[in-house]
Chain A
Amino acid sequence: MLTYFKNLGLGVVTVLNSMRVAWRHLFTPSVTLQYPTVKWKMPERSRMRLFNKIEDCIGCSACARACPTKCITVQSEKRGKDEPEIYASDGTVIKLRTVVYDIDMTLCCYCALCTFPCPTKCLVMTGEYEYAVYDKKDHNYHFAKDKPMTVKAPKEQSTEKA
């Protein structure tokens, strides 16, 4: 009989205790972030979407060689000697015209191995993580702005082969 009342009292105390805990949490500020309007501040060195500042790119394709998944495609050709000299922002002479610079983010494994060999530090991983698209092709980012210099280049190759 005594244990019955002891258990009863213990039960009541436990219920009140757990209610107290729940009451405290009712007024704890919520940890939820309202995502599209409020966003996490990404860490400074977070590795998300790749970005190439094409004005500084010298077209050396060191990044393409470093890429373990071969997601970077670089094609470059020599600038003509009569063209004016241009420099990257750190003073490196740009000797190549980057005709194709594609990064396929569907293949990227976010290892950032491509950013380390970049001599002008123009290829970086940004904190940008919202790049959902409707078409998978849109994940292939085209950074190159230069056009192939002449149309005769392939012709020369073909004559050489012949």
Chain B
Amino acid sequence: MESIAQLLRLIPKYDKLPGMAQAIIPVLVSCIVIFALLALAVLFLVWMERKVSAHIQDRLGPMYVGGWHGWAQTIADALKLLLKEDIVPAATDKLLFKMAPFIVFLGAFAAFVVVPFGASSFVTDLNIGVLYIVAVGSLSVIGIIMAGWASNNKYSLYGGMRAAAQIISYEIPSAIAIMTVIIPVGSLSMVDIVNAQKGGIQHWFLFRNPFIFLAFIVYFVASLAEVNRTPFDIPEAESELVAGYHTEYSGMRFAFFFLAEYANMFLVASVATTLFLGGWTQVLPSSIAHQFIPGPILFFLKALLLIFIQMWLRWSLPRLRVDQLMYLSWKVLLPISLVLVLGVGWLAVYW
């Protein structure tokens, strides 16, 4: 945000605006920048998802819109969703029904405030950044339950309840897995965590010690469940619950759920990138000179790699049963992550 404020000062007579406006305008501008970035990323991710799933199933996926491998397909889809009728069923709780998609999206959107895309390209560097992400990221549960309840539809309600149970359960192992990174850094700030991993691939926490490597896997599995992706997609299991909590939604509100889903995917991938894959730092060891790939691009590439693994897993694994889901969270991931925290702490004290 500081860099945005500096850019804004180049506007003539910007300094003569009232102090209130000078405080608010950079915030608004950075919000718009993040929203645009997120929307573009989501458009790309939806296209990528369709392409990856198609090729894993020996198909081609979208090929026509836009010319080259259907790159404009998702833009066309988004325009279609914008133009569609916004149906609010008669027996719904109107206020909650209309609010829910935006709250779900808010959770994903607000968390990006602290994600450092590059050495200086982040909105703000909270000193409790990771805690903030964990807290704000789970805001979407409220929106999902609101959507499920307000729809007045059994499938939506089932989906909402399952989502709540699942997301709350998986918050715990993922938060504890994040702790394994915080122990060696000694700071909750995302920027500090990235700076601690500077200097090439061997300095990434992923390869720093075996406990953190396992913690990365625990975090990855738990984050898959947090964003309701296969194999943990029971809240929107299309074969059981039509579409889960967003069954009754159409048009723009459905588009917001869709946007939030992919924004959440991107969020957990970027958090994993920041914590374990060194964020925007260079891949090659710093002893090699002339590394010219800009930080933000590296960040996106690393996040895309993780998102690709998410998509790959989606087409590899079948959906878990509800009891298996809870078993995995409480009896497998939670004990493992606790052991890992102990291990990292032991290393931090006695190494």
Contacts and interface: CB of A to CB of B under 8 A. Distances in A.
Contact of A19 (B52, B60, B313, B332): B313
A18 B58 contact: no
A34 B63 CA distance: 8
Contacts of A81: none
Interface stretch (A23-31, A43-51, A88-96): A23-31
Contacts of A28: 58
Given A8-B332, A15-B316, A22 B59 contact: no
B57 interface: yes
B315 interface: yes
Nearest to A18: B316
Given A8-B332, A30-B55, A22 B60 contact: no
B312 interface: yes
B317 interface: yes
Interface of A: 8, 15, 18-19, 21-23, 25-32, 34
Contacts of B59: 30-32
Nearest to B54: A30
B56 interface: yes
Among B52, B57, B332, residue most surrounded by chain A Cβ atoms (within 10 Å) = B57
A18 B60 contact: no
8 contacts: A22-B316, A23-B312, A25-B56, A25-B58, A26-B56, A30-B60, A32-B59, A34-B63
Given A15-B313, A15-B317, A22-B56, 12 more contacts: A15-B316, A18-B316, A25-B57, A26-B55, A26-B312, A27-B55, A29-B58, A30-B54, A30-B58, A32-B60, A34-B60, A34-B63
Interface string B289-333: 000000000000000000000001101110000000000000010
A22 B58 contact: no
Contacts of B56: 22, 25-26
Nearest to A36: B64
B316 A19 contact: yes
B49 to A, nearest CB: 13
Nearest to A30: B60
Interface string B18-61: 00000000000000000000000000000000001011111110
Contacts of A30: 54-55, 58-60
Nearest to A34: B63
Nearest to B231: A15
Contact of B316 (A8, A21, A32): A21
B245 to A, nearest CB: 27
Contacts of B60: 30, 32, 34
A27 to B, nearest CB: 8
B128 to A, nearest CB: 34
A8 B336 CA distance: 11
Contacts of B317: 15, 18
A27 B59 CA distance: 11
Nearest to B332: A8
B332 A22 contact: no
A130 B59 CA distance: 24
B333 to A, nearest CB: 11
A21 B317 CA distance: 11
Contacts of A23: 312
A18 B316 CA distance: 5
A17 to B, nearest CB: 9
Interface in B53-101: 54-60, 63
A133 B59 CA distance: 30
A125 to B, nearest CB: 32
Among A18, A21, A34, residue most surrounded by chain B Cβ atoms (within 10 Å) = A18
Contacts of B52: 26
A74 to B, nearest CB: 44
A31 B56 CA distance: 11
A162 B63 CA distance: 71
- The 3 tightest CB contacts between A and B, nearest first, are A18-B316, A22-B316, A32-B60
A35 B315 CA distance: 26
A33 B164 CA distance: 43
B78 to A, nearest CB: 24
A25 B52 CA distance: 10
A8 B312 CA distance: 21
Contacts of A32: 58-60
